[in-house]
Amino acid sequence: MNLFKLIQRLASALVVGALVTGCASTIQVSSLDKPANAADTIIVTKFSYAKGTLGLDSGVYQIEFENTDGYFYRGPALAVQVPPALNMNKANFPDDKFPGGLFIPRSRDSKGYRIYYYQLNLPGSANPSAAAPAAVATSPTTTVPSETIAAATPAGMSPGAAGVAGGIAGGLITYMIESGRGQIVLTPGTDEINIASFTSKP
Render pLDDT for 84-139 as a digit per residue (tens, 0 to 9): 988 887 887 889 999 999 999 999 999 999 999 998 654 443 343 333 333 333 22
User: In total, how many domains does the chain have?
Assistant: 1
Domain membership flag for residue 7 = no
Domain membership flag for residue 1 = no
**What is the pLDDT at residue 24?**
75
CA distance between the termini of the chain: 49
Phi-psi region of 111 (alpha: psi -120 to 50; beta: other; left: phi over 0): alpha
Helix ranges (DSSP H) in the chain:
3-21, 132-138, 146-152, 159-179
Domain membership flag for residue 106 = yes
**What is the pLDDT at residue 174?**
73
Closest CA to 116 of 157, 163, 159, 176: 176
The conformation of residue 50, written as its DSSP 8-state character, comes to T
Query: Under a CB-based contact definition with an 8 Å cutoff, are residues 123 and 102 in contact?
Result: no
Write 5-12 long-range contacts (CB < 8 A, 24+).
12/51
Structural domain span for residue 129? 22-200
pLDDT over 90, % of the chain: 44
Domain membership flag for residue 3 = no
Domain membership flag for residue 16 = no
Render pLDDT for 162-171 as a digit per residue (tens, 0 to 9): 445 556 666 7
Mean pLDDT of the residues in the chain: 73
Domain membership flag for residue 63 = yes
Domain membership flag for residue 27 = yes
**What is the pLDDT at residue 85?**
85
Distance separating alpha carbons of residues 31 and 67, to the nearest angstrom: 8
**What is the pLDDT at residue 92?**
77
**What is the pLDDT at residue 166?**
57
- pTM of the full structure: 0.69
User: Sorting pLDDT into bands at 50, 70 and 90, what band is 144?
Assistant: very low
> Could you give the strand order of the β-sheet that contains 182-186, starting from the edge strand earlier in sequence?
25-28, 182-186, 114-120, 100-105, 70-74, 59-66, 41-44, 199-200
Domain membership flag for residue 28 = yes
Q: What is the dihedral of CA 55, 100, 36, 67, to 10 degrees?
A: -80
